[in-house]
Amino acid sequence: MVCAVKLLTRTAEGGRAVAAAAKLCYSPSDAGSLFEGLGPEKVRSFLAHLRKAGHFSPFEHASFTFAVDGLSRVASHQLVRHRMASFSQQSQRYVPVGTPECVLPPSVSENPECRGLFEEHARRSLELYRTLVDRGIPKEDARFVLPHGWATRLVVTMNARELHHFFRLRLCRRAQWEIREVARQMLLAVREAEPELFDLAGPDCLTEGACREPSSCGRPYATMEELLAR
Does the annotation list 163 as a binding residue? no
- Does 140 contact its own copies by CB under 8 A? yes
- Does 154 contact its own copies by CB under 8 A? yes
- Does 123 contact its own copies by CB under 8 A? no
Residues 68-87 that bind its own copies (CB under 8 A): 69, 72-74, 76-77, 80-81, 83, 86-87
Rounded CA-CA distance 198/54 in Å is: 13
Residues 5-44 that bind its own copies (CB under 8 A): 6, 8-14, 16-17, 20-22, 24-28, 30-32, 35
- Does 58 contact its own copies by CB under 8 A? yes
Does the annotation list 81 as a binding residue? yes
Does the annotation list 161 as a binding residue? yes
Q: Residues 1, 98: contact at Cβ < 8 Å?
A: no
> Which 3 state secondary structure label does DSSP give 69?
strand
- Does 102 contact its own copies by CB under 8 A? yes
Of 38, 5, 1, 4, the C-alpha closest to 193 is 5
Does the annotation list 176 as a binding residue? no
Shortest Cβ distance from residue 1 to its own copies (Å)?
12
Rounded CA-CA distance 12/15 in Å is: 9
- Does 121 contact its own copies by CB under 8 A? yes
Does the annotation list 123 as a binding residue? no
Catalytic pick among 123, 170, 173, 180: 170
DSSP per residue over 165-228, as a string?
HHHHHHTSTTS-HHHHHHHHHHHHHHHHH-GGGSSS-S-HHHHTSS---TT--S-----HHHHH
x/- binding map, residues 189-228, to its own copies, per CB under 8 A?
-----------------------xxx--------------
Shortest Cβ distance from residue 18 to its own copies (Å)?
9
Rounded CA-CA distance 151/134 in Å is: 22
Shortest Cβ distance from residue 57 to its own copies (Å)?
7
Q: How far is CA 157 from the centre of its chain?
A: 9
- Enclosing H/E stretch for 159: strand 151-159
Annotation says 170 is catalytic: yes
The catalytic site residues sit at 170
